[in-house]
Amino acid sequence: MRVLKFAILGLLDQRDLTGYDITKHFKDTLGQFWSAKHSQIYPELKRLTEEGFIQFDVHIHGKKLEKKVYQITDAGKAELDEWLRTKSPIPETTKDEFMLKTFFISSMDKKDAVELFTHQLLERTKKVDMLEHKLKVLTEEDPSVQLLHSVQFGHFLVLTRAIEREKGYVLWLQKTLHFINQ
Ligand code: FER
């Protein structure tokens, strides 16, 4: 399935954007949980335009600089809506090399195991801090972000889920270090 297609339609349903804006969204937000090759974005924009799901206006900046500002069409909204309503299966658990090492922990020295787990604990804690900072900025920018129809409500949800998950991971790492050290 062309999931990138729906990611672009979803973004354009929030506001009109240039190809550059869309790439930036992938870099800053969407790409954190749905990675896309940036080189795929422009071909997808072209294809969506040909299919009539999006259209663009050319905005002129200065004498030469032209940029296409894309917007979603009614057909594009219908396409997005159909996809949003399709139920998703639970994805396979993502491959995590650290989990594989954990599975084989009985082959490790205590000192090495403590080092490995302590490192992971530090990294995961940093990730929680980073995600919580993003959530703080998001909430400060829009105090009504927790409402269903606020444009950033979805961003709020994916961030809070990621924070819960990472905090759970940190707790488990702390418990594991406790087991190893006893
Ligand atoms: C963000 C939105 C979601 C973000 C990260 C996520 C770092 C999710 C990450 C994850 O599930 O690991 O803006 O910024």
**pLDDT tens per residue across all 182 residues of the chain:** 789 999 999 999 999 999 999 999 999 999 888 888 888 999 999 999 999 999 999 998 877 788 999 999 999 999 999 999 999 999 888 889 999 999 999 999 999 999 999 999 999 999 999 999 999 999 999 999 999 989 999 999 999 999 999 999 999 999 999 999 98
Q: How far is CA 161 from CA 66, 71, 155, 166, in A?
A: 39, 29, 10, 9
Q: Whose CA is nearest to atom 1 of ligand 1?
A: 29
Q: Angle of helix 3-14 relative to helix 74-85, nearest 10 degrees?
A: 120
pLDDT at position 103: 97
pLDDT at position 69: 97
Q: Whose CA is nearest to atom 11 of ligand 1?
A: 162
pLDDT at position 64: 77
CA of 96 to the centre of ligand 1 (A): 17
CA of 112 to the centre of ligand 1 (A): 30
pLDDT at position 38: 82
Q: Are 39 and 54 in contact (CB under 8 A)?
A: no
Shortest-distance atom of ligand 1 to CA 155: 2
Q: Which residues line ligand 1 (CB under 6 A)?
A: 29, 32-33, 131, 134, 155, 158-159, 162
What is the C-alpha separation between 156 and 143, in angstroms, rounded?
11
What is the C-alpha separation between 54 and 49, in angstroms, rounded?
5
* Token pair recorded at residue 99: 């989990």
CA of 107 to the centre of ligand 1 (A): 34
DSSP-based three-state secondary structure for 58: strand
Please name the helix (run of DSSP H) or strand (run of DSSP E) that holds residue 111, with its range, or none.
helix 110-141
CA of 56 to the centre of ligand 1 (A): 29
Q: Whose CA is nearest to atom 13 of ligand 1?
A: 29
Burial 138-168 (b: 16+ CB within 10 A, else e): beeebeebeeeeeebeebbeebeebbeebbe
CA of 144 to the centre of ligand 1 (A): 20
Say whether pTM exceeds 0.95: no
Q: Whose CA is nearest to atom 5 of ligand 1?
A: 32
What is the C-alpha separation between 58 and 70, in angstroms, rounded?
9
